[in-house]
Amino acid sequence: MWKILVINGPNLNLLGTREPEIYGNMTLDDINARIEARANEADISVDFQQSNYEGDIIGALQSAGSNGYAFIILNAAAFTHYSIAIRDAIAAIDVPVIEVHLSNIHQREEFRHTSVIAPVALGQICGFGADSYMAALEVIIGRLNGSGVEEEE
């Protein structure tokens, strides 16, 4: 079965109560449950990690290949805008990374308009709330189904 990893960065553990006018009312567990339901429907297994620490996120990226993940969905939160270390980790690995954000970072403060990870990500999806993750998952389902590559046992 294909395996994918969803990584959420700092402060996303507070979803539900954190600035709901920007990030909505769903908790991270709610979002993860939606992702899991759709992934299971598509016969994909999904693991979730959240960390407020840059090094944890880098570690998860570095070990994603050896842990057998076919794709990563990453919301690097504020690290998106300045972590060259996370960007370098994405560039260093073979597992494709889809960058997601709940909010439309391009409509917000100027410092959020730059993503230092976008140039090394497969693509960026932002502005659709929890549906940003769901859209990334649909891309992955399409790629895995259409890949023609034999799935691992």
Catalytic residue, candidates 53, 69, 82, 101: 101
Residue type, 41: E
- Report if residue 77 touches ligand DQA, rule: CB under 6 A: yes
Residues 111-150 that bind ligand DQA (CB under 6 A): 112
Q: DSSP letter at 150? A: P
Catalytic annotation present for 81: no
**Of 106, 104, 99, 103, whose CA–CA distance to 122 is shortest?**
99
**C-alpha dist (Å) from residue 115 to 60, 127, 151:** 20, 14, 32
Catalytic annotation present for 101: yes
CA distance 83 to 87: 6
The least CB distance from residue 92 to ligand DQA, in Å, is 22
Residues 9-28 that bind ligand DQA (CB under 6 A): 11
Report the residue number, 4 or 31, with the smaller CB distance to ligand DQA: 31
Compute how many residues bind ligand DQA; rule: CB under 6 A. Answer: 10
Residues linked to residue 44 through DSSP beta bridges, in sequence order: 2
Both tokens assigned to 1: 């079965």
Query: Catalytic positions, please?
Result: 23, 101
Binding stretches for ligand DQA (CB under 6 A): 11, 75, 77-78, 80, 101-103, 105, 112
